[in-house]
Structure 1
Amino acid sequence: MRFRSALVPVTMFSSNSAWIFLIIGMIARIPGVMLIGIILMAVGVLFQLITLPVEFDASKRALVQIEGLNIVTSQELPHAKKVLSAAAMTYVAAMAVAVLELLRLILIFTNSNRS
Structure 2
Amino acid sequence: ITLPVEWDASNRALRMLRSYGLVGSQDLEGAKKVLSAASLTYVAALAQAISTLLYYLFLLGGMRRDES
**What TM-score do you get using the length of structure 1 for normalisation?**
0.56
Residue 51 of structure 1: CA displacement? 1.4
Residue 96 of structure 1: CA displacement? 0.4
> Is the counterpart of residue 102 in structure 1 residue 53 in structure 2?
yes
Unaligned runs of 5+ in 2: none
Give runs of ≥4 in structure 1 deviating > 4 Å.
none
Letter in 2 for 1:67: R
| Count of matched residue pairs | 66
Unaligned runs of 5+ in 1: 1-49
**Cα offsets for 1:4-60 (capped at 9, x unmatched):** xxxxxxxxxxxxxxxxxxxxxxxxxxxxxxxxxxxxxxxxxxxxxx21111100000
Residue 113 of structure 1: CA displacement? 1.0
| CA RMSD in angstroms, aligned pairs only | 0.6
Name the structure 1 match of 2:42.
Answer: 91
Letter in 2 for 1:70: G
**What TM-score do you get using the length of structure 2 for normalisation?**
0.93
Letter in 2 for 1:87: A
Residue 111 of structure 1: CA displacement? 0.2
Percent identity at matched positions? 52
Q: Which has the higher contact order (CA 8 A, sep 6+)?
A: 2
Of residues 62, 65, 68, the one that matches 1:114 is: 65
